[in-house]
Amino acid sequence: MQAEAPQTIYLKDYTPFGWHVESVHLTFRLAPHSTRVLSKIRFAPNPDAPAQTFFLHGEMLKLIAAKIDGAPVTPDVTDEGLTVAVPSGAFLWEAEVEIDPKGNTALEGLYMSNGMYCTQCEAEGFRKITYYPDRPDVMSTFTVRIEGDEKVKLSNGNPQAEGDGFAEWHDPWPKPAYLFALVAGDLVNHPGAFTTMSGKDVELNIWVRPGDEDKCAFGMEALKKSMKWDEEVYGREYDLDIFNIVAVDDFNMGAMENKGLNVFNSSCVLASPETSTDANFERVEAIIAHEYFHNWTGNRITCRDWFQLCLKEGLTVFRDSQFTSDMRSAPVKRISDVIDLRGRQFPEDQGPLSHPVRPESFQEINNFYTATVYEKGAEVIGMLKRLVGDEAYAKALDLYFDRHDGQACTIEDWLKVFEDATGRDLSQFKRWYSQAGTPRVSVSESFADGTYSLTFRQETTPTPGQPEKAPQVIPLAVGLLNPNGDEVLPTTLLEFNQSEQTFNFNGFAAKPVPSLLRGFSAPVVLDRDAGREEQAFLLAHDTDTFTRWDAGRQLARETLVDMILTGATPDMAYIDGLEAVLRDETLDPAYRALMMGTPSQSELAQVLADRGHVPDPDAIWQAAETLAQVKAERWTDLLPRLAAEAEVTGTYSPDAEQSARRALGAAVLSLQTRLDGGAAAEAQFARADNMTLQLSALSNLIRAGRDEAALKAFEDQWRGDRLVMDKWFGLQIAATTPEKVVPRTEALTAHPAFDWKNPNRFRAVMGAMMTHHAGFHSADGAGYRLLADWLIRLDDVNPQTTARMCQAFQTWRRYDAGRQETIRTELERIRSKQKLSRDVDEMVSRILG
Ligand code: 0A1
Ligand code: ZN
């Protein structure tokens, strides 16, 4: 229960701050429980702003003293900030405050992690460091002095001076406070260097706790590749003498793009073959790129207000996906992104938490770092690029950087750049930013006199606060195939922008087969009930790697739905069609591994709900099991062939080629385990010399119920490595059978190493439970209760992470009355907690609707 009704903030209420900040000087006197922060801030009236009271944000601060132009003042202080009378012209504000980094468990502002000081200021953490206009449109240069005994003391910008017990930094680039960072501790560095395209030398460092030095080399290479790529592809050069990355164990998110001083969750930067999987390596490379790319898309050009978050995040995710596609396999990256979008963003967009890519109101901005803002935001940019073409996209981006460098911008600014560069009217396209929900596109076809016609209809169901939806501009990439499998229309872009629209294609002797939504050209649900024959045909013949994969996926989905609803046996047309693809050795092993996957159980639950059925998690689990078993039994001669192809010789490398083989190997092992009860997995576990093989072996041993010795051995081997132990905690839950999920989770929370205040460990355990569909949704409600118990406990310590994990309940209305009732009770129980955070209150209230 919130003490006071939380305040809602609206996009339409934006007003500029009444003053410019000309410069900021900060001095930090570090002490774990009583750090002093001295600020000297020069303010000058902003002639473009309406008259207003001078207000500075400030939370959890003890104000020691304040002065204006050297004279002591006594401001009016509340829990949220202060007001004070100020001169009509420019003035110098000085304040001294005391803060408690060690007592800061929320990990926002200045806090401590393993004895090291670090900060997290996005979105509104700077106000927990000192009094300030903590809003992204207030930009200033910062000079920072850090006083303390720590060996390493870092802040943004370039080093300016260093001496006994102090270090000074100056950042010449004006920035909003959310990009401020400070790190101090006894850290060691992995050094590197980069020469920019104009010949400037940049010092690079990855700073870690002693003992982690050997896990930095991969991250350093990724950083250099990112710097080079941004020069080559976007013409963007780095702009300081030094670029520092720091690894922190306690961090709410993945990483943070603070100017010149990126702070990373250690799980997103540290990597070594023994301790990291191929997927971890790829993620490290992508996140390093993402944070680095923010230097231009986010830092040099920032957001006017937090409603514009997608301006930096959508664009930066889009850029990091382009980077990964260039570094690795583009088709595999695209398919993985779509799996992720359908798995995380679609449920969000189709449930009670649905919001536009640019939200129009919020209570707690931390709740809007979502898959919609990030991943759908990136899809919107991909659509824009497709619509205007690659050349015009490049031209528009050059214009964006030219026109808006040093500014805090809006989505209107962004779209105007495209309009000016291309002459296009993007007013309808803008609905992608304002309209929430996933459009559903249905298709019908006709063929007469050599003309083939496709008629599309679009519909978006109402979302919270948006009962009516208008048609959107949907770029549909389509191709057509002859009945013999030849492509007769290469990929063509249709601009589908009305509720219903027909497109004609002439000159065909026979009715062609359509390949629709190639490359997943728009984030929509395509409803096409074309029958399995057509899907099997596309699985065999489509030239587009995405739609070919998706045809297999749809066949898998349809057979699973049949099995769930009618108890049917698996469709052999699917299994045999898939087998033909798997036998094609010209196809990338990673692509074939993706082909072997099936829709997640949660996705199947959504499909059933969409078709008017109440999903039964146990039946879904059972169908998935049966399908895998049938594949395994059918493919007894195929599996050893694939296993041989998946063999990697030579030294481990996390590159695309080797990881592809291991991905195929893992898919094969999971079927093989169904035939041999875990013998092959046990052998692999015994000989594994890298984490990818060790973990896939362990996962199968867990699944086969043959895990006692392996889990013990793994724990003995890795008890000293916190990131590997996160895997150990999570996998025992994620890979087990439904009935063991809750008891195991409960047992693991009693494990001495279950440090629940560490977000990585908490997520490893609770995140694994909530994503095990059949386990979490066990009919007795034990999963719901256990999660709610822990969320109630964590809220006092870390509201941000607690609020994010409430998402586990967002799909509650899909399920039967009994489950709905239990979930509602648990959500109400959370909501009635004493001193509930604003973060969790907002999430639970939205989920309950
Ligand atoms: N801007 C970072 C992500 C980030 C967002 C919020 C945080 O705390 C509330 C921390 C990090 C990124 O996109 O990588
Ligand atoms: Zn980002």
Amino acid found at 763? R
Mean pLDDT of all residues belonging to the chain: 98
pLDDT value, residue 530: 82
Residue whose CB lies within 8 A of the most ligand 1 atoms, among 253, 365, 367, for a mutation test? 253
Is 301-434 in CATH node 1.10.390.10? yes
- What's the rounded Cα separation, in Å, for the pair 643 and 665? 6
Q: Quick check: 297 and 307 in contact, CB under 8 A?
A: no
Amino acid found at 776? F
Task: Tell me which ligand sits closest to the C-alpha of residue 287.
Answer: 1
Q: Which protein residue's CA is at the shortest distance from atom 8 of ligand 1?
A: 122
Task: Tell me which ligand sits closest to the C-alpha of residue 265.
Answer: 1
Distances (CA, A) of 157 to 67, 205, 497, 780: 27, 14, 46, 55
Cα of 384 from ligand 2 centre, angstroms = 19
Q: Which residue has the tokens 């690659």?
A: 390
pLDDT value, residue 4: 74
Could you tell me where the DSSP H helices lie in 598-655? 601-610, 617-634, 638-646
Residue 736 pLDDT greater than 80, yes or no: yes
Residues spanned by CATH 2.60.40.1730 within the chain? 9-186
% of the chain residues with pLDDT over 90: 99
- The pTM of the full predicted model, rounded to 2 decimals, is 0.99
Cα of 345 from ligand 1 centre, angstroms = 17
Task: Tell me which ligand sits closest to the C-alpha of residue 804.
Answer: 1
| pLDDT tens per residue across span 520-536 | 999 999 999 888 999 99
Q: Quick check: 259 and 157 in contact, CB under 8 A?
A: yes
Task: Tell me which ligand sits closest to the C-alpha of residue 293.
Answer: 2
Residue whose CB lies within 8 A of the most ligand 1 atoms, among 369, 802, 837, 838, for a mutation test? 369
pLDDT band at 462 (very low <50, low <70, confident <90, very high): very high
* Nearest CA among 562, 571, 539, 533 for reference residue 552: 539
Q: Which protein residue's CA is at the shortest distance from atom 1 of ligand 1?
A: 256
pLDDT value, residue 529: 82
DSSP structure class, residue 462 = -
Distance linking the first and last C-alpha atoms of the chain: 16
Residue 534 φ/ψ, nearest 5 degrees: -65, -40
| pLDDT tens per residue across span 498-522 | 999 999 999 999 999 999 999 999 9
- Looking from the CA of residue 291, the nearest atom of ligand 1 is 14
| pLDDT tens per residue across span 54-86 | 999 999 999 999 999 999 999 999 999 999 999
Residue 32 φ/ψ, nearest 5 degrees: -50, -50
- What's the rounded Cα separation, in Å, for the pair 271 and 247? 11
CB burial class (10 A; 0-12, 13-18, 19+) of residue 532?
Answer: middle
Mean pLDDT calculated for residue range 813-838: 98
Residues spanned by CATH 1.10.390.10 within the chain? 301-434
- What's the rounded Cα separation, in Å, for the pair 706 and 678? 7
Sequential DSSP letters for 126-152: GGGTS-B--STT--EEEEEEEESS-SE
CATH superfamily of 9-186: tricorn interacting facor f3 domain (2.60.40.1730)
- Looking from the CA of residue 123, the nearest atom of ligand 1 is 9
- Looking from the CA of residue 317, the nearest atom of ligand 1 is 13
The pair of three-digit structure tokens given for residue 19, joined into one six-digit string: 């003053």
Beta bridge partners of 743: none
* Nearest CA among 797, 820, 732 for reference residue 769: 732
Residues spanned by CATH 2.60.40.1840 within the chain? 440-529
| pLDDT tens per residue across span 616-668 | 999 999 999 999 999 999 999 999 999 999 999 999 999 999 999 999 999 99
Cα of 178 from ligand 1 centre, angstroms = 10
Amino acid found at 832? S
- What's the rounded Cα separation, in Å, for the pair 506 and 448? 10
Cα of 57 from ligand 1 centre, angstroms = 20
ipTM score of complex: 0.99
Pick the CATH number of 440-529 from 2.70.98.10, 2.130.10.10, 2.60.40.1840, 3.90.230.10: 2.60.40.1840
Q: Say which residues have a Cβ less than 8 Å from residue 655's Cβ, sequence separation at least 6.
A: none
Q: CA angle, corner 709, sides to 703 and 714, nearest 5?
A: 85
CB burial class (10 A; 0-12, 13-18, 19+) of residue 820?
Answer: middle
* Nearest CA among 426, 340, 333 for reference residue 383: 426
Residue 406 φ/ψ, nearest 5 degrees: 85, 5
Residue 6 pLDDT greater than 90, yes or no: no
Pocket of ligand 1 (CB under 6 A): 120, 122-123, 252-257, 290-291, 313, 366, 369
Q: Which protein residue's CA is at the shortest distance from atom 3 of ligand 1?
A: 256
Annotated catalytic residue: which of 147, 282, 285, 291? Answer: 291
Cα of 433 from ligand 1 centre, angstroms = 20
pLDDT value, residue 3: 66
| pLDDT tens per residue across span 738-786 | 999 999 999 999 999 999 999 999 999 999 999 999 999 999 999 999 9
Q: 3-state SS of 72-119?
A: ECCCEECCCEEECCCCCCCEEEEEEEEECCCCCCCCCEEEEECCEEEE
Pair type for strands 474-481 and 487-496: antiparallel
Residue whose CB lies within 8 A of the most ligand 1 atoms, among 122, 291, 310, 800, for a mutation test? 122
Is 533 one of the catalytic residues?
no
